[in-house]
Copies of this chain bind each other. A is one copy, B any other.
Amino acid sequence: MPLVRISLMKGKPADFGKQVGNIVYRTMVDKINVPAKDNFQIITEHDPARLIYDSEYLDIRRTDEMIFIQITLNEGWTVEMKKALYKTVAERLHQELGVRMEDVLINLVEVRKENWSFGNGIAQYAP
C-alpha cells in the first residue's frame, strides 16, 4: 500500500537509492504494520539546482546529501507510530548507509483504503 517516492542528488553509487528504499520498506513493516512484500517505490535522482532545501530551517544543518522521502499510505496510524517510523528510518539510514540524520526529510500523505488497486483492476483494500 505505501507508494514511496525517494528523491536524491545525482552522483551516488548505482544501488544507493535502492538501499535507501529497502530501509524505508523494512521500517514500515517493523513500525507501522505494513504487510510484508507491500513494497512499491519510485526513486529519482536530481542535480543540485533542482533539489532545493534550506540548509538551516528549524536549526537543522542540511547538506547536499539530502534525501526526500514522500510516502502515500492509508490513514489510521497514530502519532506515536508515525514518530517511531521517522526515528527508525533516520537511525537506520545513518547506521547502515552513513546518511546524516539531519539530511532525512520524510512526509506522509494519507488516503482511504479504497484508493488503491494493486493489479488486475481490483480495489483489494476496499471495504
Contact = CB atoms under 8 A, between A and B. Distances in A.
A102 B122 CA distance: 10
A97 interface: no
B90 A121 contact: yes
Interface string A33-74: 001011111111110011111101110101000001010100
A114 B82 contact: yes
Given A109-B109, A111-B110, A114-B79, A52 B40 contact: yes
Contacts of A120: 60, 90, 101-102, 104
Given A41-B52, A109-B115, A115-B108, A123 B86 contact: yes
Contacts of A127: 79
Contact of A115 (B62, B82, B103, B122): B82
B123 A83 contact: yes
Given A49-B17, A50-B44, A68-B40, A58 B110 contact: no
Given A40-B68, A86-B123, 19 more contacts: A3-B68, A18-B49, A37-B56, A37-B57, A39-B54, A44-B44, A57-B118, A58-B119, A58-B124, A60-B120, A82-B114, A82-B126, A83-B122, A83-B126, A104-B117, A104-B119, A105-B118, A108-B116, A109-B115
